[in-house]
Chain A
Amino acid sequence: MDFLKTRIHCAAVTALLILSASSCRDEAEIYRPDENQTGTAQRIPLTGFYLLNEGNMGSNKASLDRYTFADAIYSRNIYADANPDVPKELGDVGNDLAVYGSRLWAVINCSNKVEVLDLKTARRIGQVDIPNCRYIAFDGPYAYVTSYAGPVEINPDYRQRGFVARIDTLTLQETARTTVGYQPDGIAIAGGKIYVANSGGYMVPNYENTVSVIDAATMEFEKNIEIAINLDKIAAAPDGRLWVSSRGDYFDTPSQLFVCDPASGETVRTFDSPVSSMWLDGDSLYTVSSSFNYYTGNTEHSFAVFNTRTLEKECDNFITDGSGSKIKTPYGVAVNPVTKEIYVCDATTYVNPGMLYCFSPDGKLKWSQRTGDIPAKIAFY
């Protein structure tokens, strides 16, 4: 009897010792990129593209992927490998990405910074601290960044306007700041004017409904153009007209797309077509969306193309082979300026790694590729 007891107990203690011996923590290593071949190698006058994954708020999982055309290699999560000395990697919520000159600019929203990287190596050149920064656009020697975190108004109904910061692309110093509307998001520059789509997203249900106009030379605020509530993305077409998307309010007002003549301030065309992300390629505006409505409880997807010259919807669904049903949450779109291939980012469930789908110009699926969490923005170089 005693023998049995002792045996049982010895077994338990031994099991625990084994558990403790095998439980060693590995020294945490920097993330290594995952590389794999996807699609086929292409000889084109472009090196490739970078893709910015947002990562969820608080997860610190904003990440950068890269695709190179010459060898068709997709490299996932390359930032830490290129910048092993940066504590806590790229940061929290990557919101915008752009190539300008020989540099890659990444707007990292919840890390309150704009990260400036060398285009070839993705090595960090510097960072510009801008609280709650959102989107970026370039003109001449400057980068312009929208931010929600403008001056605090002393007001019982606390409200805080946003601003546009002007950054010298050589010194990476902020040289001017202009207050705009509430919670400014998308930014576009055309004809010496900066256009900012104000959302008012912090003021539900009293959303903003304007585009702010700033004179780029003087950084003086000029006027607000009323368009619709909860504005989001903005693009200036070659003819100078503004294409602005609204998120709607998820109840009675759906997400829509507007065309605005900035000189007169008139909305010249309205499309009942929801937009999550847009990409202007020549005269074609590609849009994707995944829009939710509270009444129906449904989320609807769309993949539409608009002609910015004729102001007509060119096509309702640029995916022609039915493979759009694979895409769970269309979240970003980009068009290869050379091959005109279309890339669609799929945020899937938002908490899991997303997917990138590549379509031929005539809308046939060419390849798909796993990305980081919430793939959102693509920049070609």
Chain B
Amino acid sequence: MTKRLLRGIAAGILYILPSTAAVAAVEGDSCQTDSTATTLMELTVNGSQWKSEVVAPQVLGGEELTRLNAHSVADAVRYFAGVQLKDYGGVGGVKTLDIRSMGSNHMGVFYDGLPLGNAQNGQIDLGKFSLDNIEEISLYNAQKSAIFQPARDFASSGSIYIRSRRPRFEEGRRVAGGVTFRTGSFGLANPSARLDWKISPSVSATANAEYTYATGKYKFRYSKRLPSGEMAWDTTAVRRNGDLHALRLEAGVFGYIPSGSWMAKVYYYDSERGIPGAIVNNVWKNSQRQWDRNFFAQGQFRKEIGRKAELMVNAKYARDHMRYLNPDTTLMLIDNSFMQQELYLSATGRYSLFSWWDIAAAADWQYNTLDSDMTMFVYPRRHQLLASIATALNYGDFRARASMLLTEVMDRTYPHETRGTSRRLHRFTPAVFLAWTPSGRNLPEIRAFWKKAFRMPTFNDLYYTDIGNADLHPEGTQQFDLGATWRLETASNPLMLEISADAYHNRVTDKIIAVPKGTGQYRWMMMNIGKVRINGLDLSSTSLWNLPAGISGRLRLSYTFQQARDYSDPSDCLDEAGTYKGQIAYIPVHSGSVAAGLHWRGAELNYSWIYAGERWDNSSNIEVNHVQPWYTSDLSIAYSLPLWTGDIRLTLEINNLADQQYEVIRNYPMPGRNYKIIASWTF
């Protein structure tokens, strides 16, 4: 029992401590065949010994991830400081992540080490990634501050790394697996199964399948009061056309070679969903539908060469098919299909010049195509060459990382070149990270970074029939950050406490914004007209507690302050409705979260609370644009008991406990109180 408890605490430390968990991400990235051994190995690599990354990411992983009442990656990332999730509501609603108010197009999303692309609109819908097969999510501001990584990893203004579950085996076993079934509100039926197979001592494989069905129906309520307090109107309706059918299949092979490792995986996702749409006066139901078929295959190989050099090669092919249908006969009939393909190749090398000085270089080639049956479509093709050089210096308590990325982009369109002709550009984007980790136990670690980055206009921005504007420039960002982390570990309560604080200033220039073309709002186009300056503060803390009667507890807190101001039009400052220096759309000044858990033998009680303060849906911060704050409490109880060689686990979740009627995006009502029951068996 004691041993089990200790292991639990060890695992807790592993997953809660951002930096320690990052060790798992780096050191154990390629293959973990024995959980006990891995845990021990990771625990020995701790604190100042770890040298790969200067700025530790925010991490949610393992047990903590399963305790969050989160269904998708999107639900989980809401607990990170500094991010805002744009959530259109419901099981199938689009959910994209905005990091430090720079816009969701600046977010790089990496799945098992390789980038997920969407050259069409640049947005990755995190709601499509169920947590069923995810073991860790890490959020990096600016970039992963390591040097041994593909050039693409240096390219985004912020990155989220999603790591799927690696095969794990108890001592002496060759097969492991599990089945899970989730059901509850929204007509959810969600079975999944996983099988891990140890092919040889150095090679293991895993396969995972999941099916999600949901009617997506939920009640929502809109009401307004008179100034006297009397109800003016009060309407309850059922959210319709939010159904989802989705199948996900995933398989991977992971292998060790002497002083190296390799992995290969395939991913397939096939879904049909209703797009519930905006609820406006006289329109309480929509009928648009979307079909997605996503496939990718990727591989990675890494090997140390001698004692001083290391090599990594990555490759990926992705093919994404999307069909959008608007069958509403009162509107324009739209039935368009889009097919994107991406080919990505990357080679990275690292060399240790001295024990305190490493250098690395990477070269990536990425090729994107977009085809469609739209009229006047121009079939864009984009070549991107990314080359990076990076260096790492460790000198005593002081560590520095610097990188320079060169991006070469070349676009072609067919059958004829678009106006603006074929686009060709190259940009240099640097980044510098510094950290000082005093050896004294109780001093904080201080860090700072500066980074420039840009995002290319997406294919839709540039070439979408009748909307795109081929004259767009890339949208640029610049970030400055100064932060500190205090970490305390003792034998008494709290067992571990970590507090992290970051103050930052970001600038977004040439922000790409859609504006109508002048004779009515049915014809839009994209323009580089935005300028945003952001001052922010992220605070987060995690702690572990040893409570009486063998209860262990953990607490995770985060708070974000963001003043994200619109500097686009200095002349628009004449009255309170002016947009100059107004808080930009959907960024709350204050937001935060709490996640707390109690663990006693096989039983768990988890509570979480998420808060987003008042927002405006427009930089004109007046009453008609005001969006109410929202806060939801989620509660779950879980019980695990050993069965045969594994565990059976039952979970009951109650989400939005107070049944708050809220919106993240105006006119997209979110679900009220809802329930979920999860039964899983692992062996």
Q: Is A250 among interface residues, defined by CB-CB distance under 8 A?
A: yes
Bound-state CA distance A32–B613 (Å) is 22
Q: Could you tell me if A61 and B281 are in contact, using CB atoms closer than 8 angstroms? A: no
Bound-state CA distance A76–B594 (Å) is 41
Q: Is A291 among interface residues, defined by CB-CB distance under 8 A?
A: yes
Whether A28 contacts B465 in the complex (CB less than 8 A), given A110-B280, A292-B517, comes out as: no
Interface stretch of the complex, out of B305-313, B329-337, B391-399: B329-337
Q: Is A169 among interface residues, defined by CB-CB distance under 8 A?
A: no
Contact of A32 among B227, B592, B611, B631 (CB under 8 A): B227
Q: Could you tell me if A149 and B280 are in contact, using CB atoms closer than 8 angstroms? A: no
Q: Is A350 among interface residues, defined by CB-CB distance under 8 A?
A: yes
Q: Which residues of chain A are near B518, meaning CB under 8 Å?
A: 276, 289-292, 299, 329
Proximity string of chain B (644-656) to chain A, C-beta cutoff 8 Å, 1 when within and 0 when not: 0000000000000
B323-359 CB contacts (< 8 Å) to partner A? 329-333
CB distance from A206 to the nearest CB of B (A): 8
Q: Which of A25, A85, A160, A232 neighbours the largest number of chain B CB atoms within 10 Å of its CB?
A: A25
Whether A349 contacts B521 in the complex (CB less than 8 A), given A60-B281, A84-B232, A205-B376, comes out as: no
Q: Is A47 among interface residues, defined by CB-CB distance under 8 A?
A: no
Q: Could you tell me if A91 and B281 are in contact, using CB atoms closer than 8 angstroms? A: yes
Q: Could you tell me if A131 and B330 are in contact, using CB atoms closer than 8 angstroms? A: yes
Q: Which residues of chain B are near A89, meaning CB under 8 Å?
A: 281
Contact of A16 among B529, B592, B620, B666 (CB under 8 A): B592
Q: Could you tell me if B521 and A374 are in contact, using CB atoms closer than 8 angstroms? A: yes
Contact of B278 among A60, A201, A370 (CB under 8 A): A60
Bound-state CA distance A329–B517 (Å) is 10
Q: Could you tell me if B281 and A295 are in contact, using CB atoms closer than 8 angstroms? A: no
Contact of A113 among B282, B488, B490, B624 (CB under 8 A): B282
Bound-state CA distance A90–B630 (Å) is 25
Contact of A348 among B229, B329, B486, B572 (CB under 8 A): B572
Q: Which residues of chain A are near B202, meaning CB under 8 Å?
A: none
Q: Which of A12, A27, A348, A372 neighbours the largest number of chain B CB atoms within 10 Å of its CB?
A: A12
Contact of B629 among A25, A31, A80 (CB under 8 A): A25
Q: Could you tell me if A111 and B281 are in contact, using CB atoms closer than 8 angstroms? A: yes
B223-277 CB contacts (< 8 Å) to partner A? 223-227, 229, 232-233, 235, 277
CB distance from A24 to the nearest CB of B (A): 8
Q: Could you tell me if B227 and A60 are in contact, using CB atoms closer than 8 angstroms? A: no
Q: Which residues of chain A are near B516, meaning CB under 8 Å?
A: 347, 350
Contact of B497 among A5, A58, A113, A201 (CB under 8 A): A5
Q: Which of A30, A129, A349 neighbours the largest number of chain B CB atoms within 10 Å of its CB?
A: A349
CB distance from B276 to the nearest CB of A (A): 12
Q: Is A77 among interface residues, defined by CB-CB distance under 8 A?
A: yes
Q: Is B525 among interface residues, defined by CB-CB distance under 8 A?
A: yes
Q: Could you tell me if B497 and A292 are in contact, using CB atoms closer than 8 angstroms? A: no
B594-636 CB contacts (< 8 Å) to partner A? 594, 609, 611, 613, 617-620, 622-624, 628-631
Q: Which of B224, B280, B543 neighbours the largest number of chain A CB atoms within 10 Å of its CB?
A: B280
Q: Could you tell me if A152 and B329 are in contact, using CB atoms closer than 8 angstroms? A: yes
Bound-state CA distance A31–B233 (Å) is 13
CB distance from A202 to the nearest CB of B (A): 4
CB distance from B568 to the nearest CB of A (A): 8
Proximity string of chain A (288-305) to chain B, C-beta cutoff 8 Å, 1 when within and 0 when not: 011110110101000000
Interface residues on A, range: 35 or more
Bound-state CA distance A132–B278 (Å) is 16
Q: Could you tell me if A60 and B280 are in contact, using CB atoms closer than 8 angstroms? A: yes
Q: Is B657 among interface residues, defined by CB-CB distance under 8 A?
A: no
A329-355 CB contacts (< 8 Å) to partner B? 329, 347-353
Q: Which residues of chain B are near A19, meaning CB under 8 Å?
A: 559, 590, 592, 611
Whether A87 contacts B624 in the complex (CB less than 8 A), given A129-B282, A350-B515, comes out as: no
> How many A-B contacts are there with CB distance less than 8 Å?
205
Bound-state CA distance A291–B525 (Å) is 12
Q: Which residues of chain A are near B617, meaning CB under 8 Å?
A: 59
Q: Which residues of chain A are near B569, meaning CB under 8 Å?
A: 349
Q: Could you tell me if A295 and B419 are in contact, using CB atoms closer than 8 angstroms? A: yes
Q: Could you tell me if B620 and A28 are in contact, using CB atoms closer than 8 angstroms? A: no
Q: Could you tell me if A352 and B572 are in contact, using CB atoms closer than 8 angstroms? A: yes
Q: Which residues of chain A are near B283, meaning CB under 8 Å?
A: 92, 110-112
Q: Could you tell me if B577 and A204 are in contact, using CB atoms closer than 8 angstroms? A: no
Q: Could you tell me if A5 and B281 are in contact, using CB atoms closer than 8 angstroms? A: no
Q: Could you tell me if A86 and B609 are in contact, using CB atoms closer than 8 angstroms? A: no
Q: Could you tell me if A58 and B224 are in contact, using CB atoms closer than 8 angstroms? A: no
Q: Is B279 among interface residues, defined by CB-CB distance under 8 A?
A: yes
Q: Which residues of chain A are near B428, meaning CB under 8 Å?
A: none
Bound-state CA distance A329–B611 (Å) is 38
Q: Could you tell me if B624 and A25 are in contact, using CB atoms closer than 8 angstroms? A: no
A141-165 CB contacts (< 8 Å) to partner B? 148-149, 152, 158, 160
Q: Which residues of chain A are near B282, meaning CB under 8 Å?
A: 88, 91, 108, 111-113, 127, 129
* Majority DSSP secondary structure for residues of B touching A: loop
Bound-state CA distance A204–B517 (Å) is 15
Q: Is A63 among interface residues, defined by CB-CB distance under 8 A?
A: yes
Contact of A9 among B232, B442, B494 (CB under 8 A): B494
Q: Which residues of chain B are near A2, meaning CB under 8 Å?
A: 490, 492-493
Q: Which residues of chain A are near B279, meaning CB under 8 Å?
A: 60, 88
Bound-state CA distance A247–B283 (Å) is 29
Q: Which residues of chain B are near A30, meaning CB under 8 Å?
A: 224-227, 232
Bound-state CA distance A1–B497 (Å) is 12
Q: Is A175 among interface residues, defined by CB-CB distance under 8 A?
A: no
Whether A27 contacts B222 in the complex (CB less than 8 A), given A9-B494, A108-B281, A129-B282, comes out as: no
Proximity string of chain B (39-61) to chain A, C-beta cutoff 8 Å, 1 when within and 0 when not: 00000000000000000000000
Q: Which of B466, B520, B628 neighbours the largest number of chain A CB atoms within 10 Å of its CB?
A: B520
CB distance from B587 to the nearest CB of A (A): 15
Proximity string of chain A (79-109) to chain B, C-beta cutoff 8 Å, 1 when within and 0 when not: 0100011111111110000000000000010
Proximity string of chain A (42-56) to chain B, C-beta cutoff 8 Å, 1 when within and 0 when not: 000000000000101
**CB nearest neighbor in A for B281:** A91
Bound-state CA distance A158–B326 (Å) is 12
Q: Which residues of chain A are near B525, meaning CB under 8 Å?
A: 292
Q: Which of A58, A113, A201 neighbours the largest number of chain B CB atoms within 10 Å of its CB?
A: A58
Q: Which residues of chain A are near B513, meaning CB under 8 Å?
A: 349, 351
Q: Is A272 among interface residues, defined by CB-CB distance under 8 A?
A: no
Contact of B624 among A57, A347, A372 (CB under 8 A): A372
Bound-state CA distance A86–B622 (Å) is 22
Q: Could you tell me if A25 and B577 are in contact, using CB atoms closer than 8 angstroms? A: no
Bound-state CA distance A349–B572 (Å) is 11
Q: Which residues of chain B are near A13, meaning CB under 8 Å?
A: 557
Q: Is A273 among interface residues, defined by CB-CB distance under 8 A?
A: no
Q: Could you tell me if A350 and B521 are in contact, using CB atoms closer than 8 angstroms? A: yes
Contact of B522 among A5, A88, A201 (CB under 8 A): A201
Bound-state CA distance A265–B297 (Å) is 63
**CB nearest neighbor in A for B277:** A58
**CB nearest neighbor in A for B232:** A84
Q: Is A20 among interface residues, defined by CB-CB distance under 8 A?
A: yes
Q: Which residues of chain A are near B519, meaning CB under 8 Å?
A: 232, 247, 255, 276, 289-291
- 14 pairs, CB–CB < 8 Å, chain A vs chain B: A2-B492, A8-B499, A9-B543, A20-B609, A25-B629, A28-B224, A30-B224, A57-B521, A59-B617, A60-B278, A91-B280, A148-B331, A350-B516, A352-B572
With A59-B617, A80-B224, A205-B376 known, 14 other A-B pairs at CB within 8 A are: A2-B492, A9-B494, A25-B660, A30-B225, A32-B623, A84-B232, A88-B222, A92-B280, A111-B282, A113-B281, A202-B333, A204-B375, A297-B469, A299-B518
